[in-house]
A = this chain, B = another copy of it.
């Protein structure tokens, strides 16, 4: 089996071949094909810019791989700021000895995921490090989008805003966790890894008054809500029984001592919506393939006192703690 060698990252002939035979084969577009030191883009108006490093292990998991994750994750970070994803850059740090086949699989899946949103990969870089100095493959991706809806911000939650999740909680984290623990057959959970722009665009173009959107990745739902409470200085109350959690995810969490709301999603977004538009947004979400399990889970109950309250059906209230500690390394 062909393997990735140090020379593929040396900047010489082998690097040129790798670019031509692998990256251009799948990513080809007019801008990238020029192979300049920087790509020239035409952009107009306000622009959103984001970056993420991806170190997920294993690099292939049920429902995706590190490549799909890198593209979807970057697309989603732009989408939640109301920006139409336009251009991506990707850089690879590869461990010497990775099979060419595996790398090709990842690259192919990046191209596939990019095509779903129409985003173009216009810049890239590849470094190969000696065996043992990295673990298989790390990817960094940056994205540029054109802002089509302004005013979305973690600082923008208001009293009365309704909190909606676009899908069930913790799927990606549970999938990786099950795979690492060798429990993927007992816990048949797929990662929810996917691009959310098409779904988010439907909501934003409806004219609904949306105050904030965030995709719940590392830190999970609890991370998003606590950051929002902190940044907007509000108290958020969530009804525990309304939070959609898959049976298998709940079971795994009970077994291993995790909170589903602390586990990562990679294809689920949380919305804070003006109350009069909450029902409308819920229906739009449910009409999309990405948001068909959407659920209203709570609301912003008051200004001041930054915290998140979890209320149970029995009338008990407790604080939903922000995630802390080691959680799960290399979850994304």
**Partner-B contacts on A (CB < 8 A):** 5-7, 9-16, 34-43, 46-55, 57, 76-78, 80-81, 83, 87, 89-93, 96, 122-130, 132-135, 138, 140, 142-145, 147, 153-155, 214-215, 217-219, 223, 227, 231, 262, 264, 322-330
Contacts and interface: CB of A to CB of B under 8 A. Distances in A.
Contact of A38 (B54, B83, B322): B83
A50 B46 CA distance: 19
Contact of A77 (B5, B38, B55, B122): B38
A140 B155 CA distance: 28
Q: Which secondary structure dominates where chain A touches chain B?
A: mixed
B41 A46 contact: yes
A34 B212 CA distance: 13
Contact of A36 (B40, B122, B140, B153): B153
B48 A219 contact: no
Contacts of A327: 7, 10-12
B48 A40 contact: yes
Could you say which of A46, A140, A324, A327 has the most chain B C-beta atoms within 10 Å of its C-beta? A140
A240 B144 CA distance: 43
Contact of A35 (B54, B231, B264): B231
Contact of A322 (B13, B48, B326): B13
A134 to B, nearest CB: 5
A51 B13 contact: no
Nearest to A144: B49
A11 B323 contact: yes
Contact of A37 (B55, B77, B96): B77
Nearest to A14: B324
A90 B43 contact: no
Given A93-B138, A129-B135, 20 more contacts: A10-B219, A10-B324, A10-B325, A10-B326, A11-B264, A15-B219, A35-B154, A35-B231, A36-B154, A37-B80, A37-B214, A37-B215, A38-B81, A43-B47, A50-B89, A51-B89, A53-B92, A54-B127, A134-B138, A138-B138
